[in-house]
Amino acid sequence: MTLTYRYLPDLHQEATVQPDGILSRVLHNEGGVRTVIFAFDAGQELTEHTASRPAIIQILSGTGTLRLGADELEARPGTWAYLPAGLVHAIRAESPLTLLLTLLPKE
């Protein structure tokens, strides 16, 4: 049996910020785990929404505001957040921002 893997030497090369836009790209989708990289231009946002499964957000570059439930929190390189399924959340980029979203299997 051959085991396959995927190696990305630089996540920043996987998502280029588009002028006045948001780019998303699926990097992995297997075994109930889906990993998506997002690139936001300054001023772009994903408005309040929920997910049907738990998720982890990791900010790779840039700055913004992350809303988790009623809390507005700073988002900057190194920020990490776990979101349980059903939590209302949103993100707004204050500067060009990239993040990694990992959707976990339903609990």
pLDDT digits (tens, 9 = 90+) for 69-98: 999 999 999 999 999 999 999 999 999 999
Rounded CA separation 72/7 (Å): 34
33-43 burial by CB neighbour count: b if 16+ within 10 A, else e?
ebbbbbbbbbe
Say whether pLDDT at 52 is over 90: yes
Q: Is residue 16 part of a domain?
A: no
CATH number for 47: 2.60.120.10
Rounded Cα distance between 92 and 44, Å, is: 6
* Residues pairing with 83 in the sheet: 55
pLDDT per residue as tens digits for the range 2-40: 888 889 999 989 999 999 999 999 999 999 999 999 999
Residue 60, in any domain of the structure: yes
Number of domains in the chain: 1
Residue 87 resides in a domain:
yes
Q: In which order are the strands placed within the sheet that holds 71-75?
A: 45-49, 89-93, 64-68, 71-75
Q: Which domain holds residue 71?
A: 21-101
